[in-house]
Structure 1
Amino acid sequence: MEALDFAAESLDAIWSEGAIYNIGFERGVSEWRRFIKPDGILAVSELTWLTERRPADLDTHWREHYVEVDTASAKLALLERQGYAPLGYFVLPRRCWLDGYYRPLQQRFAAFLQAHGNSPAAEAIVEERRHEIELYERYGQYFGYGFYIARKCHYG
């Protein structure tokens, strides 16, 4: 993700689900823009605050783990500043997090720990994921994955 080897304006679309956070939302939409043809589409999912206010422990957790977490309005404004015209935004349903991500992850904890000899590093990874799942189960109404769809603007 940090060194993509595509020709300039060679892609009709870039679709990134649950991955742009690896390089950061702002960096991703900025750097990937050069690969998208004029009027091409960017479609990305991104950790998003669903409310302006939220519990302090939740806010602290995500600000420590992903400094770019923000509201949809801030993400849409960033897309506009980076030369995109937002076409749509929606929040992925709760079942996507629970059934599609967290529950399968939980089911693999024991095998992961065993494969890594129950090492302190493996335990720490599992504990961090358990904490994240607990936060989502308690506070899922405050954050989720927003899906953003935008068209690359061309000038002149």
Structure 2
Amino acid sequence: MPEHAIPAQLNRGGTTYAAPAYSPSGRPLPRLEIEIHPAGDRQLAVITGELDIDADQLLHSTLRAALDRSRHGLDLDLRRVDFCDCSGLNILLRIRQRALQDGKTLCVRAASGAVRRLLTVTHTLPLLAPPDDHRPTAPTRAPDAVQQHGDTQGGLGRHR
């Protein structure tokens, strides 16, 4: 379990990790929640909140643990991510690198407009988009309807 997370079991067999509301120094932390769901030979992580330097440790440890538990890799649903900066992107790229070393994949299955813009501007979208021949083993929607933020699709298309 991530060291600074507060876990809570979900009814559908997944686990939610939520960042504490305040840092050890008493400073309010950004909102971050990560739900991990088994999805066949893969794991699905549904992330809500902000991915920045304050989310670094919880995001990395939770995604790394989910990747380790998967047989083929990790799918990310980032439709509920309100903000993502270079720190959040760096974690995603580090987890992707680890997945590749382990013979697995990391795929962003859905993203908010903010995440999609960051991936596009940094030219990292092709690195995290699902390969053309990769079919998900479970629906890309997480339980309890994830579509929000006015993004009716949320998915990442292949850009060439």
TM-score band, normalised by shorter chain: 0.3 to 0.5
- Structure ranking higher on relative contact order (CA contacts 8 Å, 6+ apart): 1
More helix by share: 1
TM-score, length of structure 2 as denominator length: 0.32
TM-score, length of structure 1 as denominator length: 0.33
The structure whose Rg is larger is 1
